[in-house]
A and B are shown apart, each in its own frame.
Chain A
């Protein structure tokens, strides 16, 4: 290759002085990015991916500093540039698309002037017609219609906003684009569209691309080279082919094996099947009777009836994109959100019309694991408060020693060291540890039904499988029935006994996972499955790229009636 590399990092170390001494965020990193290559930075949160990218932009947050090494941007020593020279370099030579970029658009400005800002800052005031020509060109290059320029950010969908941000990044044809988890807040279908746009535009302007992420599947579908970072060190670097097919470092192997696949080996090891807890009532555990939910004029959930007997422990999965009404269903079941029509019956009693004593009984037996493990702990208390309080509240505690023992057993069951964890404050624990504690809490209370609302979507990829198998154990070893709400079809495939696919408040396909996810019949289910990024180079997004038309598939989905596949005993669904 005759061209010089776009970016050369030589022996780069970045450190943050703190009270507890100097923390080295990045250690002696050596990396070269050739022109036109796409390089993925993969690793857990805190592994130094974003820090490295920010150092290249000279945008490290105080008090971080580059301790040693050089950053060479196509022949320019970035670290030697003055503030003004750096300002001119940003955007024109390196573009940075930050995490959650779609929320960084100015809500009170139309899209067009926001695109012009970058041009004017670098090239001075230009003719209005020229500005317009260039902004239209940029929007067209990311596949947005010209009239988008006249809209305000709130009038665009998440995927469109993300494309506007890409247009902002490439408007000056930079040498290097850094995209920091550009699709983290988007659902799978939009994710695939946005990544396609990013790849196309990068190929067109021929710049280098750094893609930061933690999803091995997405990386496999998007980049040429992969750099695996762990605790600030580059543990492995090579082409995607090398790394996926023959990972050397145990951490890389972990990352690859932690991605659950539809089909393939299960990450779960079902040992024994516990019986469901003995029930006094002969009524079904949970029953939806024609439940509908409206928010204003929008119907989030169309009338739906199902019965969960609960005599044998089962995992029922509810899958769908954001906005499909799946979380609404969860909150209705928990008694947080009264339905607009219909009744929710727990053991034959309407949960929205219970006496105080019945309500306490219901709470004791229906527990939840929420999406955000960071918000679930009161920052004022040590984490054991969240476990101790309900245990006492439900009259399960015989003595303080008994409570302590129960907490320690529950922690041990989810693989946490009770001495290390229980007396800490929430902010001292990682997201994964907190989520496991919430699972431990559910275990301690041994409810009859657990509602798990996206329990692993905010946890580092390498921990997802562990937490899911913790949850699976609840059913397997402790006989708890579980309603698993998720957007991730691959995990639903493995854990569930029955799957319902929700689309715009309707159940579009339902049945055992091997049938619904393994061989989908409804166009919407097919669309979801096509959009999953596989960590497998042979099963590429790209191959179906030309024929892949999500709009057409969605249109077909709206036309097609619900497909009900096989039944299982103990659960009955009737579309109302």
Chain B
């Protein structure tokens, strides 16, 4: 089958071989690894930060006001100092402590919301696709109607009615708006899989409905579930940050969105306090880029046609 076994390879051929090797193990996908790295860095920031930095500095008045990051000057010609390396905000809170506590909080809301949303989606999607009939009609209509309702509108009403909410509470509310698309996706997949030969084979083998659903179908859905999960994490975080920036998130717990809300509220843009809103925005960008890279990477893992040979 192979030719030119003993001919020394040129450089281009060696590179080609290396790429092919990477092609062989789909999980060694550079995009996926970079994305995971970025998200893990945020988690590590939260964990290590609590050990090496003082999280109590997030309380109002625990530091001087409006200090710039080290190496910069604010409008009052104050130099940044190493006690507060990323500066402080208008309420006298340390920015480093704020992101150590806030960034993982934001990620937590996103992950929890989409975890709940996905679970609902898997349950409803399977029920609709597998059982069919009236149950299918009900679930499909429900999901389609919910998709047309703008989530922010409802959430704004809810949050203002509740007043102060906890992170978990907010995640639950957001979860109510991220289950529709996984439901539809899984329903469609289950419908087509139900006709497939191996499901018929399993039926012939006397398999129970539970076995067919969870042992025969679910494993083949894993790539879709992963992709859908990451997409809904992104949606959840966008929704959560949107609410927080409107001032509707948790009032006493620091999150990236809340920090941006306070910065805007205190006129940080006019006073040139760029670190106040800039640093949380940067971290949000890192989270989104991380999620995007994971999504692209997973796409390539589950769909070999997207993987490039050269």
Contact at A389–B1, with CB atoms within 8 Å? Answer: no
Known pairs A367-B204, A368-B204, A393-B205; A19 contacts B196 (CB<8 A)? no
Chain B 236-284 interface residues, beta-carbon cutoff 8 Å to A = none
Are A389 and B203 in touch, CB under 8 angstroms? no
Which one, B19-27, B35-43, B48-56, B153-161, is touching chain A? B19-27
Measured CA separation A9–B16 after assembly (Å):
30
Is there contact, CB below 8 Å, between A378 and B3?
Answer: no
State whether A376 touches B1 (Cβ < 8 A). no
* Partner pick for B24 among A19, A364, A376, CB 8 A cutoff: A19
Known: A19-B23, A21-B2. A378 touches B204 (CB 8 A): no
Contact of B204 among A334, A379, A380, A381 (CB under 8 A): A334
Contact, CB under 8 Å: A363 / B3: no
Complex interface residues of chain B between 165 and 180 (CB less than 8 A to chain A): none
Give the residues in chain B near A22, CB-CB below 8 Å: 1-4
B206 adjacent to A378 (CB under 8 Å): no
Q: Which of B20, B198, B200 has the most CB of A within 10 A?
A: B198
Q: Within residues 192 to 228 of chain A, which ones have a CB less than 8 A from any CB in chain B?
A: none
Question: Are B205 and A390 in touch, CB under 8 angstroms?
Answer: yes
B216 touches A378 (CB 8 A): yes
Are B206 and A394 in touch, CB under 8 angstroms? yes
Residue of B nearest to A391 (CB): B205
User: Is there an interface contact between A363 and B205, defined as CB atoms closer than 8 Å?
Assistant: yes
Residue with the highest number of chain A CB atoms closer than 10 Å, among B21, B23, B196: B196
Category for how many chain A residues contact B: 35 or more
Complex: how many Å from CA A40 to CA B2? Answer: 29
B204 contacts A21, CB within 8 Å?
no
CB distance from A291 to the nearest CB of B (A): 20
Majority DSSP secondary structure for residues of B touching A? helix
- Which residues of B are found within 8 Å of A296, using beta-carbon distances? none
**Minimum C-beta distance from A482 to chain B (A):** 15
Collect the chain B residues with CB atoms within 8 Å of residue A15's CB.
3
Beta-carbon nearest neighbor of A231 in chain B = B1
Is the CB–CB distance between A19 and B201 below 8 Å? Answer: no
Q: Select A380's contact among B1, B205, B219, beta carbons within 8 Å.
A: B219
Q: How far is A383 from B44 in the complex, measured between Cα atoms in Å?
A: 42
Given contacts A24-B1, A63-B310, contact A393 B220 (CB under 8 A): no
A interface footprint on B3-19 (CB within 8 Å = 1, 0 otherwise): 11000000000001000
By the criterion CB–CB under 8 Å, are A336 and B216 in contact?
A: no
A17 at the interface (CB under 8 A from B): yes
Which residues of B sit under 8 angstroms from A360, Cβ to Cβ? 206
Interface string of A372-408 (1 = CB under 8 A from B): 1011111111000010011001100000000000000
CB–CB B3/A24 < 8 A? yes
Asked whether A376 and B205 contact (CB < 8 A) given A63-B309, A63-B310, the answer is no
- B136 to chain A minimum Cβ distance, whole angstroms, is 18
Inter-subunit contact A19/B21 (CB<8 Å): yes
A370 within 8 A of B: yes
Considering only residues 218-248 of chain B, those with a C-beta below 8 Å from chain A are 219-220
A331 CB to closest chain B CB, in angstroms? 9
Instruction: Give the residues in chain B near A24, CB-CB below 8 Å.
Output: 1, 3
Which residues from A are CB-within-8-Å of B204?
334, 363, 367-368, 390
Known contacts A368-B204, A377-B197; 8 further A-B pairs (Cβ under 8 A): A22-B2, A363-B206, A376-B197, A376-B201, A381-B219, A389-B207, A393-B205, A438-B201
Shortest 7 CB-CB distances between A and B: which pairs?
A: A375-B197, A21-B2, A390-B205, A376-B197, A380-B219, A378-B198, A363-B206
Of the A-B pairs whose beta carbons lie under 8 Å apart in the complex, a sample of 11, sorted by A's number, is: A15-B3, A17-B309, A19-B21, A21-B1, A334-B204, A363-B206, A370-B197, A376-B200, A378-B216, A380-B220, A390-B204
Residues of B within 8 A of A (CB): 1-4, 16, 20-21, 23-24, 196-198, 200-207, 216, 219-220, 309-310
